[in-house]
Chains A and B, each alone.
Chain A
Amino acid sequence: MLAVQGLVKSFGRNHVLRGVDLTVEKGESLVIIGGSGSGKSVTIKCLMGFIMPDAGTLTLDGESLVGRSGRARDALNQRFGMLFQHAALLDSLPVWENVMFAPLRFGGISRREARKAAAGWLERVGLDEGIAAELPGGLSTGAQKRIGLARAIAGEPDVLLFDEPTTGLDALVGRQIDGLIRSTIDDLGAAAITITHNIASARRIGDRVAMLYEGKIAWTGPSAGLMESGDPLVDQFVHGRLEGPIPVPALPED
């Protein structure tokens, strides 16, 4: 189980996280929603060890994720798979090496075996083996996202993190990616955290949804009840209303 308790992080005078509490069970999919700058990405970066929190505990099956560096952190990160907002594929490596990066390093397999295995992972995310030798820079955003997903799951991790998985995709491809993410979570039985602005996507991917507001979890509940939560903050956010407890900066009048 992945547990976050009292997570606090500030950047100078900007207090981004003010005590975030979360738990995600194995096989469960939690989606975090919230406005821009609400601290969704910072939460995920703290989980991955990219950012050191100021206070709070982060544990995976009881093992602390905070304060680990070097090989100890590397060993922990092998239990995580992450799909980045813009896929973040390594430009200098062909698609198959991107997908099999972690298994090549830690799985004790040869390059020939990895090349073969990559075809299977690519097929699993709906891509043809024919693109395996291409460099990722020339591929469409949708294809890059799928490759990023294949890379995230190729190490068969215990925890999957998805950072704005449908950003930059049209509605149809976005829906496909959501379906892939959901089926991947179910197949691997991994604990998953997705952060997104996209409410339709949150409902498709998540078992539970948590809303982050002013650095804290303001609401959490089943994704099926997201649209009728009864919480004024959540209602305003998911229905996109300008009036409500969340202040919306006024635009200058013409």
Chain B
Amino acid sequence: MINPLAALGRVTLSLFEAIGRVTLFALTGLAHAVRPPFFWRNYARHMVEIGYLSLPVVALTTLFSGMVLALQSYSGFSRFSAEGAVAMVVVLSITRELAPVLAGLMVAGRIGAAMAAEIGTMRVTEQIDALEALSTNPYSYLVAPRIVAGLLMMPVLVLVGDIIGVFGGYIVGVSKLGFNASNYLTQTWDVLETEDVVSGLTKAAVYGFIVTLMGCYHGYHSTGGAQGVGRATTQAVVSSAILILIANYFVTELFFSK
């Protein structure tokens, strides 16, 4: 009787402990993002890494998601003669949900894993100790540039993803489903509200924060050589993906609950 309760207590305590550690890590990272020294080259490097080099992956994902969405919604809506709603469904789904969530998950796989692996390797090869020996705070040099780059560049990435995703729906709608090009674009534009785009970009910023935070946190605390770095990489991707999906609900509720 006592053992299950004790186990539950242990799990709860360790959960709160982990939340506390991550929160402290995030606050320290953010504090170093607003006070000097600023390593501008590192900021630029990570902005390019997230905002530019992730573009092909996000573009392909959102393009085909938009195309599939147009096909699926046409197929479903034609059962009750509502084919005209295809453009509306595509643009709202892409801007509100698909572009931010898919970009978040793709960036978690691409950037979160790379960050955890790079920082984890730096930890186990004493490079982080070397930074401290060189009077350089690792939070200023490693963590702050990555978190800021994630916060700033993910919305840019998702904005481009929004356009490409809607364009994917447009291509299928016009070339395959027989929509009039001008009407499709007009419907898309008419139904779209500022709130739809802003909610998606807010999600993107939150996901950028989550992905970079998890990548930095797990890499920074990796131990045990190559195996530890591998474990940190896996944990960074899995925890990012889970937190993105959880955060998705709360940001959606923030914008759209009536």
A and B assemble together:
yes
Interface residues of A (CB under 8 A from B): 45, 48-50, 70, 73-75, 77-78, 80, 82, 84-86, 88-92, 101-102, 105-106, 151
Identify which of A75, A85, A86 contacts B135 (C-beta below 8 A). A75
| Minimum CB distance partner of A97 in chain B | B41
CB of B134 closer than 8 Å to a CB of A: yes
Contacting residues, chain B, for A50 (C-beta < 8 A): 129, 132
Name 17 A/B residue pairs within 8 A (Cβ), A-sorted.
Answer: A48-B132, A49-B132, A50-B132, A73-B135, A74-B135, A74-B136, A74-B137, A77-B134, A80-B133, A84-B130, A85-B126, A88-B130, A89-B127, A91-B127, A105-B134, A105-B136, A106-B135
Please, how many angstroms separate the alpha-carbon atoms of A6 and B127 in the complex? 29
CB of A88 within 8 A of CB of B132, answer: no
| Bound: A69/B23 CA distance, A | 21
Residue contact B122 to A82, C-beta cutoff 8 Å? no
Tell me which residues across on chain B come within 8 A of A80, comparing CB atoms. 133
- List residues 31-53 of chain B with CB under 8 A from any CB of chain A: 37, 45
A80 and B134 alpha carbons, distance in the complex (Å)? 8
Interface 0/1 of B129-169, CB less than 8 Å to A: 11111111100000000000000000000000000000000
**B130 near A90: Cβ-Cβ < 8 Å:** yes
- Give the 10 A-B CB pairs with smallest separation, nearest first: A74-B135, A88-B130, A88-B126, A77-B135, A82-B133, A84-B126, A88-B127, A102-B134, A78-B135, A101-B134
Q: Is B125 an interface residue (CB 8 A)?
A: yes
Q: Majority SS of interface residues in chain B? A: helix
Distance of A77 Cα from B133 Cα, bound (Å) = 6
Task: Give the interface size class of chain B.
Answer: 10 to 19
Q: Give the chain B neighbours of A89 by CB distance below 8 A.
A: 127, 130
Shortest C-beta distance, B37 to chain A (Å), equals 7
CB of B199 within 8 A of chain A? no
Distance in angstroms from B32 CB to nearest chain A CB is 11
Determine the chain A residues whose CB is within 8 A of the CB of B45 once the complex forms. 92
A222 to B126, CA, bound (A): 31
Closest B residue to A148 by CB, please name it. B130
Bound form: Cα–Cα A89–B125 in Å: 9
Task: Kindly report which residue of chain A lies nearest to residue B42, judged by CB atoms.
Answer: A92
Cβ of B240 within 8 Å of any chain A Cβ, yes or no, is no
CB closest chain-A residue, reference B45? A92
When distances are taken between beta carbons in the complex, the residues of chain B under 8 Å from A106 are 135
Q: Is B233 an interface residue (CB 8 A)?
A: no
State whether A105 touches B37 (Cβ < 8 A). yes
Contact flag A86-B136 (CB < 8 Å), given A91-B121, A105-B37: no
B141 CB to closest chain A CB (Å) equals 9
Q: How far is the CA of A75 from the CA of B136 in the complex (A)?
A: 10
Inside 8 A of A78's CB, which chain B residues have their CB? Answer: 135
Q: Bound state CA distance, A48 and B136, in angstroms?
A: 13
Taking the closest CB of chain B, its distance from the CB of A111, in whole angstroms, is 10
Q: Which residues of A contact B127 (CB under 8 A)?
A: 88-91
Q: Could you tell me if B125 and A86 are in contact, using CB atoms closer than 8 angstroms? A: yes
- B212 → chain A closest CB, angstroms: 16
Q: By CB atoms of chain A within 10 A, which of B125, B134, B135 has the most?
A: B134
A73 to chain B, nearest CB (A): 8
Q: Which of A45, A73, A90 contacts B131 (CB 8 A)?
A: A90
Complex Cα–Cα for A77 and B134 (A): 7
Binary CB contact string for chain B from 199 to 242 against chain A (1 if under 8 A, 0 otherwise): 00000000000000000000000000000000000000000000
